Amino acid sequence: METAEFIRILDQEGKSLAAAAEQAGTGAKVPTCPEWQVRDLVRHTGAVHRWAGAHVTEAHTSPRPFGGLPDLDDAELLEWFREGHRRLVSILTSADPDTQCWQFLPAPSPLAFWARRQAHETAVHRFDAESARGGTPSVIAPEFAADGIDELLTGFHARTRSRVRSELPRVLRVRATDTEDAVWTVRLSQEPPAAERTAEGEAECEITGHAAQLYLSLWNRVPFPRVTGDDSLADLWRTTSGI
């Protein structure tokens, strides 16, 4: 997927998040993040948007800490979120493609990284806001969902901080049934998970479903669509993969 498409998705997902949060009310509980109310979700995502934008505009070559969360609520909090979201979209849209700044996952460029990461960050938290609002959640396109699975498996969990570990070598497979070539083989050991976008070799457990269902389930937002084989590997993921 191209950077411009990630920015377009970020734009829409942020608007949908704000609308769902407004409909739910900032005091509503977030079922997918039980420790949060909607105000916590909005503050967190708004702070992430400002943090991401600062890395691009100020060309930070090392990570910067998050800024403080605002002491705002209700309509003022939602306007704060919307303003920061609009600014992030504008920053990414107008940035020089050759901008150099810190990134924490592999990507063709820092700008491509931040556009992709913020699109997925916002999409998952939009789903959280919609879970608080209730009703039918917005659709996640299969191609975008598959990209998010790839980012999670080959990016986030390739880092040393991943807690998905196994005393003995194990193999987990993730397969999207509605997207071509969207199959991942995840090798678990005492080291960080090693994931490849391939169906080669045997797997002890396979998680299958539509890409959007897999995307949300691997982020621990919904149950796994279908598990075959040794379901203890699916349980291992569920209990240790939180980020």
Contacts of 55 (CB under 8 A, 6+ apart): 63, 64, 101, 102, 110, 114
> pLDDT digits over 179-213, tens only?
999 999 999 999 999 999 999 999 999 999 999 99
Partners of 209 in beta bridges: 176
Find out whether 41 and 122 touch, Cβ atoms under 8 Å.
Answer: no
* DSSP secondary structure letter of residue 34: T
Distance set, CA 175 to CA 101, 179, 186, 214, 227 (Å): 34, 9, 11, 8, 10
Percent of the chain at pLDDT > 90 equals: 98
Supply the pTM of this predicted model. Answer: 0.96
Find out whether 176 and 210 touch, Cβ atoms under 8 Å.
Answer: yes
Taking the C-alpha atoms of residue 183 and residue 197, their distance in angstroms, rounded to an integer, is: 6
> pLDDT digits over 19-62, tens only?
999 999 999 999 999 999 999 999 999 999 999 999 999 999 99
3-class SS at 35?
coil
> pLDDT digits over 93-127, tens only?
999 999 999 999 999 999 999 999 999 999 999 99
